[in-house]
Amino acid sequence: MKANLYTKDGEVKGEISLPSVFETPARQDIIRKAFRAITLSMRQPYGSYPLAGMRRVGHNAGPGHGTARIPRTSGSSRAVLLGNFVGGKSAHSPRTTKVLFKGINKKERKLARMSAIALTASKEAVKKRGHEISEDITLPVIVQNDIEKITKTKEAAEVLKNLGLYDDVIRARNGTKIRAGRGKMRGRRYREPRSILIVGSSSEKLRAFSRLPGVDVATTRSLSLRKLAPGGDAGRLTLFTESAVKALEAIE
């Protein structure tokens, strides 16, 4: 497979051969399975205090007193310790010892990642996710390494305009909404749609792009399934640098 190589001005410089990872069959079912396993494994353990409701002294008076044989406080009829009484232990509360990790086979995880990379070259999958791209551009979008020298966000936005990708950034900016629920008070007040993923040789060199709404940056080593397929839906609009495409040959 071959794809166009663009300059930062949006002009076609030539063609570049794509690694065989872009020929991986599209397996949306495996991608969703791997995404679910990764997301569930990131949960934080939570639970009640193990001794909650048990730090009391209760005595069973035994039979022959006309009362139920349950633990009660001394000199009183107040029931304690058991889960069906006020102030007793919690019957089926969450426990911090519960194993939240969800495993997945190594081959399936590898196939999911490679399939998600391959679907970045599918215009049908990219449009299905809701991304807005120019009809003239070919996928995957591969640009020369010159964009890693950009240090200003204004220049980064100009590059995306030249490539015909800036409309998707506007879509993310206009789609930013205030989150519903208590998450507003927990450091995640706004919900921002995902826009372009830019993959280069270093995330530090692409910092100017990361300031744009919905834009994420990554390297080939940090190219995770959560970035390639947010929400478990593959086909994210992705821009690769020339060096990043050559580095993808190592994950075949």
Residue 57: inside a domain: no
Inside any domain, residue 184: yes
Q: What is the mean pLDDT of the chain?
A: 94
Q: Is residue 231 part of a domain?
A: yes
Best CA proximity match to 55, nearest among 76, 84, 80: 80
Band (250; pLDDT cuts 50, 70, 90): confident
User: Residues 50-56: contacts with CB within 8 Å, 24+ apart?
Assistant: 50/95, 52/89, 52/90, 52/93, 53/80, 53/81, 53/83, 53/87, 53/88, 53/89, 53/90, 54/81, 54/89, 56/80, 56/81, 56/87
- Answer yes or no: is 222 within a domain: yes
Ranges of beta strands (E only) in 89-175 are 141-143
Q: How far apart are CA 44 and CA 239, in angstroms?
A: 33
Per-residue pLDDT tens digits for 87-121: 899 889 999 999 999 999 999 999 999 999 999 99
Domain that holds residue 211: 2-22+117-251
Q: Which of 57-71, 117-131, 180-194, 202-216 has the lowest mean pLDDT?
A: 57-71
Measured over the CA atoms of residue 186, residue 187, residue 190 and residue 194, the dihedral's sign is negative
Least confident of 19-33, 51-65, 180-194, 203-217: 51-65
94 domain residue, yes or no: no
Domain of 144, CATH number, reads: 3.40.1370.10
Query: Is 60 a member of any domain?
Result: no
Note the pTM of the prediction, 2 decimals.
Answer: 0.86
Is the per-residue pLDDT at 187 higher than 90? yes
Stretch 35-63: mean pLDDT: 93
Residue 4 has pLDDT above 90, yes or no: yes
Tell me how many domains the chain contains. 1
Give the single-character DSSP code of 19. P
pLDDT beyond 70 at 252: no
- Rounded Cα gap, residues 117 and 105, in angstroms: 19
In a domain, 129, yes or no: yes
Q: How confident is the model at residue 67 (pLDDT cuts 50, 70, 90)?
A: confident
Residue 213: inside a domain, yes or no?
yes
Q: What is the mean pLDDT of residues 207-211?
A: 95
72-81, 82-91, 236-245, range with greatest mean pLDDT: 236-245
Do residues 216 and 28 touch, judged by C-beta distance below 8 A?
A: no
